[in-house]
């Protein structure tokens, strides 16, 4: 099995898996979400993959906004209840999908792997790709058999603010994956202060997306990351506004062979909770 096979599944392969014997079919989670709303539940209710359960990114896959940022780590017990209610079982494969941009799905992938469940893949192209391929959808809400997953935090590396600062200061590479204007401090549509962590390298996660709207091939990703200073043996972490878009970059890093990539979960929204943390603007460090 290739790295890509372990991380992504295309619609044709998923359709075959779902048509197989029920015990072996993966658990499918619909995590459609928009940064500024409305909630993805309405999209799910209008139509979703047969058997898919809806899991809310804001309230179930992430913690309560506050001192930890806008999308902090979830409470393990709350996450465990949500995943068990959705039918997630220990050791059993899970497939997550979103509205096609991959942001919510990769944050869901990251959260499940952080929680100790590593048999999880992202549906390449999400719900639009499934529909475009002519596969069936339904508005029927399933009643999943309750799962038995035990959440064990620590399955993927997490950066605290001081870790992010150390990477940016030369202990590795800290990627700021937001749009360039936010990194430069020219505009900030969400958080109260514009700018970036001093020393961070700007590499918008949109650069990992090809013309077809999907993640580029592993070789192309490796090349782009190398241009940003992510060389073999160099520690790497990523942050964004609140840890959702950066999870997409961490996923891309995994595709590129960097399974050690760390996520600054609180990201910029957490960095700003301490007024003593420095803020840089412009193209310099």
Q: Which residues are known catalytic residues? A: 240
- What are the distances in angstroms from CA 131 to CA 33, 96, 97? 18, 15, 12
DSSP 83-130: HHHTT--TT--EEEE-SSSSHHHHHHHHHHHHTT---EEEETTHHHHH
d(CA 63, CA 74): 4
Q: Judge contact between 242 and 68, C-beta under 8 A.
A: no
Q: How many residues does the chain have?
A: 285
Contacts for 244 with CB less than 8 Å, ≥ 6 apart: 35, 57, 71, 103, 104, 107
Q: Judge contact between 93 and 113, C-beta under 8 A.
A: no
d(CA 112, CA 79): 9
- What are the distances in angstroms from CA 159 to CA 125, 164, 261, 263, 265? 29, 6, 10, 6, 7
Question: What are the two backbone dihedrals, phi and then psi, of residue 198, each rounded to the nearest 5 degrees?
Answer: -55, 130
């Amino acid at each position: 099995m290739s790295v890509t096979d372990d991380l992504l599944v295309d619609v044709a392969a998923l359709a075959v898996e779902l048509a197989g014997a029920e015990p072996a079919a993966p658990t499918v989670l619909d995590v459609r979400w928009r940064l500024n709303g409305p909630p993805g539940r309405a999209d799910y209710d209008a139509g979703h993959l047969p058997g898919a359960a809806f899991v809310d990114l804001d309230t179930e896959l992430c913690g309560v906004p506050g001192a930890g940022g806008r999308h902090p780590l979830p409470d393990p017990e709350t996450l465990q209840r949500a995943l068990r209610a959705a039918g997630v079982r220990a050791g059993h494969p899970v497939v997550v999908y979103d509205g096609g941009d991959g942001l919510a799905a990769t944050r869901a992938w990251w959260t499940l792997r952080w929680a100790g469940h590593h048999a999880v893949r992202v549906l390449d192209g999400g719900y639009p790709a499934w529909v475009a391929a002519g596969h069936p959808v339904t508005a029927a809400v399933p009643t999943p058999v309750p799962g038995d997953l035990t959440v064990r935090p620590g399955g993927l590396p997490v950066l605290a603010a001081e870790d992010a600062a150390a990477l940016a200061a030369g202990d590795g590479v800290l990627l700021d994956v937001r749009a360039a204007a936010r990194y430069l401090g020219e505009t900030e549509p969400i958080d109260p202060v514009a700018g970036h962590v001093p020393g961070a390298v700007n590499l918008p996660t949109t650069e990992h997306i090809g013309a077809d709207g999907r993640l580029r091939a592993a070789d192309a990703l490796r090349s782009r990351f190398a241009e940003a200073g992510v060389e073999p043996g160099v520690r790497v972490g990523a942050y964004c506004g609140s840890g959702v878009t950066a999870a997409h970059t961490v996923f891309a890093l995994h595709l590129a062979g960097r399974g050690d990539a760390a996520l600054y979960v609180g990201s910029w929204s957490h960095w700003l909770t301490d007024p003593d943390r420095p803020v840089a603007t412009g193209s310099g460090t």
